[in-house]
Amino acid sequence: MTSRITQYNRPYSFTDEQVRGPFAAMQHEHVFDDQPGGWTRMHDRFTVTAPFGALGHLALRLAVSPYLRRLLEQRAAHIKTRAEAGTPFTE
């Protein structure tokens, strides 16, 4: 999948959208909120539209959505671990 950052409002949010890939459309919004105690909370809003009509919608609901939710949760946990450890994000 190829995506492009289509909105950037540093340090509050950015949005990337699929340019080429498996979905009819995909939008991934990252929103950052300052919290008491000097830490930041990140919210992911991930919206996809399935290709292939009703069959694609069924596959999205039964298989793809649960997979994407787990992927985003694992990614957020990894980012949190790296950020709290002070590990640079250079990869």
Structural domain that includes position 22: 2-85
Rounded CA Rg of the chain: 15
Q: Report if residue 41 sits inside a domain.
A: yes
Q: Report if residue 69 sits inside a domain.
A: yes
Q: Report if residue 91 sits inside a domain.
A: no
Q: Report if residue 60 sits inside a domain.
A: yes
Question: Measured between alpha carbons, how far is 17 from 51 in angstroms, rounded to an integer?
Answer: 16
How do the pLDDT tens digits run along the chain, 91 residues long?
999 999 999 989 999 999 999 999 999 999 999 999 988 888 899 999 999 999 999 999 999 999 999 998 998 898 888 888 887 766 5
Does the model's pTM come out above 0.95?
no
Q: Report if residue 46 sits inside a domain.
A: yes
Count the domains in the chain.
1
For residue 36, give the 3-state DSSP assignment: coil
Q: Report if residue 45 sits inside a domain.
A: yes
Q: Report if residue 62 sits inside a domain.
A: yes
- Sign of the C-alpha dihedral, residues 54, 57, 59, 61? negative
